[in-house]
Structure 1
Amino acid sequence: MAKVLYSVTLSVDGFITGPDGDMQWMRPYLGPNPEVDDLLPRIGSLLIGRRSHDGDDPHKGEPGEGEAFGGGWSGPAYVVTHRPPSRPETGVTYVDDFAKALTQAKEAAGDKYVNVIGANIAKQCIEAGELDEVLLFYAPVMLGAGTRLFTHPNGQTVPLERISVTKTPLATSLWFKVVQRATP
């Protein structure tokens, strides 16, 4: 059965994008990472928010631009949106309901991970009690503004248990298991 994983690169001050959705801040930190190399074959599908899908690409102008993980992964992708494009992208399924998209992504993933891309989709997974793990790649930079890793009106505590810590020359990663899922 598929597990739902939120894997994301973020600044030390907790931002996953810079102001106005800027992802170019990430470029200096995209490099060899054994943990990413190990993760990619374990991903069975992607669950993506529309803003993330349509947003800035840290691989802009490079081979792999517009592809998941800069071209390091390919497979089924499910974009949650109420505005499907007039020209759908090959390999991408646009679904107008979060629960349906998650179900389809889990079925497609089989016994691998559904990798979540986008803060809002991750938040919806948490609120639905469907997030199993979180993998954070901390880049040694502070952005000061942008999209936070996780926000919830009036706060919400999500207990985590550390699985591993990995240091590379470009980032430090922390992998967590969600201990107690939120109840819908």
Structure 2
Amino acid sequence: MRKLIYGFGVSLDGYINDRHGNIDWTAPDEEVHQFHNDRYRRIEISLHGRRLYELMAGYWPHVPENAPRIEREFGELWTTKPKVVFSRTLPEVHWNSTLIRENAVEEVRRLKAAGDGAMEVGGAGLAASLIPHGLIDEYHLFLSPVVLGGGTPLFPTLDKRLPLRLAETRHFNTVVMLRYLAH
């Protein structure tokens, strides 16, 4: 069975963007960017919510030729990686993507059962729909030294506790990665 990873840059107070939707404070330095590129190579399928897909599709397929090598590399990785996009409103998707309009929970269960590698989920809204069903196996938090005071929370409000086990910490120059396993 495939494992599902939810990884995101997060502020010290638990937000993935600020009150205006800005994520400029999450821009990775070269060390973190290379880590993400290497990690993304090992992912079989990337699951996107609509907002994240639109954000990614707005830049990564169009990385300028004069951009740093590491960005051009990720642009190539992102455009070729199989993606499943969950949206009721997008008319179509591109760049090796499949559009799913209904029943994200059932589709993710099907995808998990269909292989034994790793998938990642991107987008707080999509992840929030999967967390209560126990579908996420690992949480990778890239903790930035900033307090935002509001924005989109990494985790949704839950009816019960979500027990996790710390499996790894990794210190970078600009962030700390915390990798947790679901029980």
Q: Please, what TM-score do these two structures have when normalized by structure 1?
A: 0.79
Task: Map 1:53-64; keep pairs closer than 5 Å.
Answer: 53-55=53-55, 63=67
Distance 1:39 1:46, change over 3 A: same
> Which of 65, 74, 90 is equivalent to 1:84?
90
Number of residues of Structure 1 aligned to a counterpart in Structure 2: 174
Partner of 2:24 in structure 1?
24
Q: CA deviation at 1:83?
A: 1.2
Distance 1:69 1:6 in 2: 18
Q: CA deviation at 1:77?
A: 0.7
Q: Would you say 1:143 and 2:148 are equivalent positions?
A: yes
Q: Relative to total residues, which structure has the larger helix share, 1 or 2?
A: 2
Partner of 1:75 in structure 2?
81
DSSP 3-state at the match of 2:40: helix
Q: Deviations over 1:66-91 (max 9, x none)?
A: 99955554411111111132x43131
DSSP 3-state at the match of 1:41: helix
Distance 1:76 1:96, change over 3 A: same
> Which of 118, 123, 127 is equivalent to 2:123?
118
Q: CA deviation at 1:120?
A: 1.5
Q: Deviations over 1:131-177 (max 9, x none)?
A: 11101010111222211111216x53100001011101111011010
Partner of 1:165 in structure 2?
169
Partner of 2:45 in structure 1?
45
Partner of 1:182 in structure 2?
none
Aligned residues: CA RMSD: 3.0
Q: Would you say 1:132 and 2:137 are equivalent positions?
A: yes
* Structure 1: stretches of 5+ with no match in the other structure: 180-184
Amino acid at match of 1:44: E
Q: CA deviation at 1:118?
A: 1.0
Distance 1:32 1:91, change over 3 A: same
Contact 1:2 1:111 in 2 (8 A): yes
Distance 1:174 1:58 in 2: 27
Amino acid at match of 2:90: P
Distance 1:70 1:150, change over 3 A: farther
